[in-house]
Amino acid sequence: MKFRMNPVYKKELKISVRTVRMAMIILGYNAVLALIGLLSFYFTFNYSFNNNIDYSGILQIYLILAVIEFGLVLFVVPAFTASAISGEREKQTLEILLTTKLKPSQIIFGKLLSSISSTLLLVFSSLPILAIVFSIGGIRLFDLIQLMLFCVTTAIFVGSIGIFFSTCFKKTVPSTVFTYGSIILLVIGTLAIIAVSYMIGVRNYDNLYSASSTMIEYNPPGVGHAINLLLINPAVSLLALLSKQFGSPSYLSSLLSHYGKTNTVIFDHWYAISILIQMLLAVVLLCISVRTLDPLKNKK
Amino acid sequence: MLEIQGLYKHYGKFTALNGLNLELKKGELFGFVGPNGAGKTTTMKIVSGLLNADAGDVFVDGINIRKDKKKLKEKIGYMPDFFGVYDNLKVVEYMEFYASIYGIEGKPAKKLIYELLELVNLSECAGNYVDGLSRGMKQRLCLARCLIHDPELLILDEPASGLDPRARFEMKEILRNLNHKGKTIIISSHILPELSQMCSTIGIIQKGTMVLKGTVEEIMQQMNVSNPLLIQVVEGQDKVISLLKRNPFVENIAIKGSNYSIGFKGNKVEEANLLHSLIENDIRISSFFRQEGTLESLFIQITKEEEGEKIEV
Ligand SMILES: Nc1ncnc2c1ncn2[C@@H]1O[C@H](COP(=O)(O)OP(=O)(O)OP(=O)(O)O)[C@@H](O)[C@H]1O
Ligand SMILES: [Mg+2]
């Protein structure tokens, strides 16, 4: 069968390419990124004495740029996807789409693809700036590719959250609120849950400890395996990725072992496992969205 | 072409469709008439696969719409009562988008789009942005859009609403033209005279049931029976009353000078018989006709009756 581009994706692409906005955004984003990159370079090299280049400084530039890319994906993709379906509904174009030959899955997929691709275009367009870091050394090409792939999976994950709420709600406003709400919950909320339950656990232990007369070693409990909740946190995945790339698992391990216990297998493959789980969640959310969109499967 | 059997639809406790039946033959141009909230849009959405019915069956060209959604979508073209268009898309691109959904691309698509735009008189606007079109143009564009896959059944929900008389006329011509090309068409509307000029059959829906269905003539006839027979008698007035009283179909007689208004429950043949007997009895008559009922008065009559208020015609 001949390959055929998803019609919805093609149409969205046509609309977004038409406006100058996209070009301006790409220009602006890369300008800001380049500025940050150059400034960090300036500081790294100016403050290095005896012509000794401090490679950890370069790693820091990479770290900053990686976090910016991640933040971009995390907060811009949902802006597109949260209005993807509800926007069509508000524009009163969705009903027409649903009576055409298009399957609900094609609509969902086309929308996800177009919402993700404009953001990923931004990410990929900044590759040359990231490559500056790479040209000096300290970071391998493979690391850059991995970072890009991570941006793709994160975009799919947060994108499908947006699509999900966008099909659930009739209006874009609640959809956007719930989408950002759940992203904040994922990134900050999960950490807060772990931290709070850790503190409660420690307080209870302290009370018991001071009350008990026998001399036992002070050993407050962590949150145990509940720490695995962080697997769905994309920010922790980024941390895991960067730890792995820098060859020092200390960032991740200090976070995980301080608050709880993890299985060594999970710990060793934290990044891969977390991405797998996030992709699974994305698939589930997308499947629910497809079902919700189908007027005949959806009761009412 | 279309068969609807005992269709029910409830919104919570509210019954929107209450056992609706409808059968349309191929090539019919069916006018679907009813007051606001009668269930026209609901019926059309169910037939188009946008809503699930609670009970009942719908067959489009023999296909059960619950069973084969894919085939249904090839057969129908649906135009909603309210719809929007995309920003930043030109008329041609708008059409190209829907063509691509059906796998029509490149040269064949260009040709088809050109033909369809021609059909709806929009070829001059091909390069315009769709969000800048007037209401009437958008409506015609939407019609062209639902023709893109050459469907056999067109389901048009108030295609002429919000249009000025000129645009209405154009829309009517286009629809008639399409009907001549063999398309089966359902149009919903509130405006009866318009439908009676254009449609081959008309159905009147009231509170989710079809209260009356037939050809325009049949419906006219049916309503005429309740309209009075008007006779103007020039000579022989003395004999008229006794003659009329003997006729079994005469129900009441009102006299105003030489004009007689008669409640007559007979059909055309019986009308002719009455006229014949009057003339045979040397009564000289200058006019003899059934008062014409408009579809509008029928509409009001039917919908009022349903509310339980009998009105005298
Ligand atoms: N989504 C819904 N939820 C609840 N009630 C609904 C819904 N859609 C329609 N209804 C009700 O069902 C009834 C039939 O509505 P429908 O839109 O089919 O009427 P209509 O004949 O198309 O009217 P109009 O001439 O105003 O377009 C109305 O009383 C309406 O209030
Ligand atoms: Mg309606």
- Work out the average pLDDT over A176-192: 94
Q: How far apart are CA B306 and CA B298, in angstroms?
A: 12
Per-residue confidence (pLDDT) for residue A143, from 0 to 100: 86
Q: How far apart are CA A167 and CA B54, in angstroms?
A: 23
pLDDT, one tens digit per residue, over B63-106 is 888 888 888 899 999 999 888 888 888 999 999 999 999 989 88
Report how far Cα A105 is from the mean position of its chain's Cα atoms.
23
- Work out the average pLDDT over A200-212: 80
Provide, for chain B, the percentages of residues in helix, strand and coil under a 3-state DSSP scheme, each rounded to the nearest 5. Answer: 40, 30, 30
Residue A201: pLDDT over 80: yes
Q: Give which of A137, A117, A115, A135 is closest to A127, Cα–Cα.
A: A135
Residue A54: pLDDT over 80: no
Which ligand sits nearest to residue B43's alpha carbon?
A: 1
pLDDT, one tens digit per residue, over A71-121 is 989 988 998 899 999 999 999 999 999 999 999 999 999 999 998 888 888
Q: Give which of A131, A146, A154, A6 is closest to A71, Cα–Cα.
A: A154
Q: Residue B67 corresponds to which tokens in the numbers above?
A: 């069973």
User: What is the Cα gyration radius of chain B?
Assistant: 25
What mean pLDDT is reported for chain B?
85
Pocket lined around ligand 1, Cβ cut-off 6 Å:
B 11, 14, 16, 34, 36-42, 81
Per-residue confidence (pLDDT) for residue B111, from 0 to 100: 93
Residues of chain B with CATH 3.40.50.300: 2-221
Residues of chain B with CATH 3.30.70.100: 224-312
**Beta-carbon neighbour count of residue A167 at 10 Å?**
27
For a pLDDT cut of 90, what percent of chain B falls above it? Answer: 29
Residue B312: pLDDT over 50: no
Q: How far apart are CA A278 and CA A158, in angstroms?
A: 9
Q: Would you call B260 helix, strand, or coil by DSSP? A: strand
Q: Residue A1 corresponds to which tokens in the numbers above?
A: 């069968």
Q: Would you call B253 helix, strand, or coil by DSSP? A: strand
Q: Give residue B309's pLDDT band: very low, low, confident or very high (50, 70, 90).
A: very low
- Work out the average pLDDT over A223-250: 84
Q: Give residue A300's pLDDT band: very low, low, confident or very high (50, 70, 90).
A: very low
pLDDT, one tens digit per residue, over B129-158 is 998 998 888 999 999 999 999 999 999 998
Q: Give which of B202, B204, B140, B126 is closest to B177, Cα–Cα.
A: B140
Per-residue confidence (pLDDT) for residue A137, from 0 to 100: 67
Per-residue confidence (pLDDT) for residue A98, from 0 to 100: 92
Q: Would you call B67 helix, strand, or coil by DSSP? A: coil
Question: Higher-confidence residue: B226 or A187?
Answer: A187
Provide, as residue numbers in chain B, all residues whose Cβ is less than 8 Å from the Cβ of A102. 101
Taking the CA of residue B190 as reference, the ligand 1 atom at the shortest distance is 25
pLDDT, one tens digit per residue, over A146-172 is 999 999 999 999 999 999 999 999 999
Per-residue confidence (pLDDT) for residue A188, from 0 to 100: 94
Helix (H) or strand (E) holding A193: helix A190-211
Architecture of domain B2-221 in this structure:
3-Layer(aba) Sandwich (3.40)
Q: How far apart are CA B30 and CA B200, in angstroms?
A: 6
Relative to beta strand B153-157, strand B184-189 is parallel
Q: Give residue B310's pLDDT band: very low, low, confident or very high (50, 70, 90).
A: very low
Per-residue confidence (pLDDT) for residue A48, from 0 to 100: 56
Overall pTM surpassing 0.95 (yes/no): no
First to last CA, chain A: 37
Per-residue confidence (pLDDT) for residue A1, from 0 to 100: 45
Helix (H) or strand (E) holding A174: helix A172-184
Question: Higher-confidence residue: A41 or B263?
Answer: B263
Distance of CA B211 from the midpoint of ligand 1 (Å): 18
2.60.40.10, 3.40.50.300, 3.30.930.10, 3.30.70.100: CATH of B224-312: 3.30.70.100
**Angle between helix A270-293 and helix A104-125 axes, rounded to 10 deg:** 140
Q: Give the start-to-end residue ranges of the domains of chain A.
A: 7-299
Contact A96 B86 (CB under 8 A): no
Q: Give residue A3's pLDDT band: very low, low, confident or very high (50, 70, 90).
A: low
Answer yes or no: are the C-beta atoms of B22 and B52 closer than 8 Å: no
Q: Give residue A56's pLDDT band: very low, low, confident or very high (50, 70, 90).
A: low
Mutation to test the B interface, candidates A18, A96, A109, A111, most B Cβ within 10 Å = A96
- Name the minimum distance, in Å, from the CA of B4 to any CA of chain A: 17
SS (H, E, C) B159-218: CCCCCCHHHHHHHHHHHHHHHHCCCEEEEEECCHHHHHHHCCEEEEEECCEEEEEEEHHH
- Work out the average pLDDT over B170-199: 86
Interface ipTM above 0.90: no
For a pLDDT cut of 70, what percent of chain B falls above it? Answer: 90
Taking the CA of residue B81 as reference, the ligand 1 atom at the shortest distance is 27
Q: Would you call B28 helix, strand, or coil by DSSP? A: coil
- Work out the average pLDDT over B38-66: 90
Side-by-side strand order, sheet with B284-290? B250-256, B259-264, B229-235, B284-290
